[in-house]
Structure 1
């Protein structure tokens, strides 16, 4: 039985923000997905978090059912402000932040800008590219081509060329929702991976922090880990050796095992029913 409580929308930071809420009890956890992942595509992950947390999954602006289109700023500052305004609008005063990829970069900035209430940060394979640094390994045409094909209409079989290792259910869900990813918003986030350096924020993080590294993702290398640990000596670094960048898709149980006791209790996939 699903632990989905509801979907909803709230006006915060001047835009309509859409969310999915799972669990409804326990400490609050806000989950911010990556560059082309509407909230619904992280539902299978939120179901496990919901065993322990009141879990809120956001549609980042320009994705899913949140505000999109021309006239919005899709840069890091605005998206970080969205997270803080979302928490304030819904009266979420103390919360864990979990972010994947782009979402990890956003929660870092949000926590630095508004540290009060942040219990912890879980950074799931964040891009550590930036000016003068190694390029982010994902190539822009992969995003652009898949979005444009989704706008025209595609199914799970067509999505296989972009996500060959995913299950049919996962590919079908992505095929259904990828068209909601507004291409200029995705392009801005992708460009920011290369133009904005997040290392400056590691020294400023206000709460205990976990960095989860995908062993096969190519995003974070050993030298990056060493630099991050120097900047943030108390950081907890864990690895999911057999997973690519989309960690829970590649190793569902390994993703949750990598949290260990960081969030206060182990997370077990067998609790899902």
Structure 2
């Protein structure tokens, strides 16, 4: 099957360098649809979502973003790693690229960024997809992932390790997935990860989700305890227009565990179905 990968690039947006990967099989039909901007999670550089970008690129002009402090985007001692700064990055990104119509798809931390950015972007997205977002926050239960898991795995990656070294932290992943994580995890700035993790417990995600004024979809994992049934009920009570799909046989890293179920969960919200096994012409 031909690739939909076009190129990797950098753009100066919101006063920092933002790196992204672009995927698109351009046809008259796909070019008329809203672009899709994918925002990965707390320790996921854009390249680790490349296999997802490949699939999205069959139907949409797709951009997978390196969040500040991850991958090849800017990182420094002075950089603000708050949720507001990350959301303004996303708003600045779509403005800098001149995207007229776009949807946000955010996973985990990326979902929280997408929800906040939806009301800060110069133009509203056509839709927002929140994939297994941490529902922790002020007065709520803690995020189930533990900070030492991130810190220790990043330290190992900075020293230099291989797939087997990463297996202790991600025992269910394939060798290829572990190799990619071992190669790229060192690019995640520990300061950025700590700030985002602390933000999981201090930022009010529910308030952002409630304010979404565009079609929205909550995609959650059957396993992992990040989003429970009662959390879904609360989010849909706060935002009655929010649809929900629970993906079976999947933990928090949903497309790693059940890629077909992940793609099917989108339905036609973005303007076309994602799951399509037909090869690219």
Aligned 1:145-224 pairs, distance under 5 A: 145-224=152-231
How far, CA to CA, are the matches of 2:155 and 2:277 in structure 1? 37
The normalised TM-score by structure 2 is 0.95
Query: Are positions 1:231 and 2:238 aligned together?
Result: yes
Per-residue CA deviation, residues 147-168 of structure 1 (Å, 9 max, x unaligned), is 0000000101111111111111
Counterparts of 1:120-135 in structure 2, within 5 Å, are 120-135=127-142
Counterpart residue number, 1:96: 103
Q: Deviations over 1:24-82 (max 9, x none)?
A: 63231100000000000000001000010000010000000000021000000000000
1:10 equivalent in structure 2: 11
User: 1:206 Cα deviation (Å)?
Assistant: 2.2
Q: How does 1:133-144 map to 2 (within 5 A)?
A: 133-144=140-151
Task: Give the superposition deviation at 1:265.
Answer: 2.0
Unaligned runs of at least 5 residues, structure 1 = none
Residue number in structure 2 paired with 1:52 = 59
1:88-107 superposed Cα distances (whole Å, 9 cap, x missing partner) = 11111210110000000001
Aligned-residue RMSD, C-alpha: 1.2
**Larger deviation: 113-122 or 165-174?**
113-122
Contact 1:121 1:207 in 2 (8 A): yes
State whether residues 67 and 73 of structure 2, in contact with CA within 8 Å, keep that contact through their aligned partners in structure 1: yes
Partner of residue 36 from structure 1, selected from 16, 19, 43: 43
Deviation of 1:117 (Å): 3.8
Q: Distance in 2 between matches of 1:49 and 1:69?
A: 31
**What runs of 5+ residues in structure 2 fail to find an aligned partner?**
none
Moved over 4 A (4+): none
Match of 1:252 in 2: 259
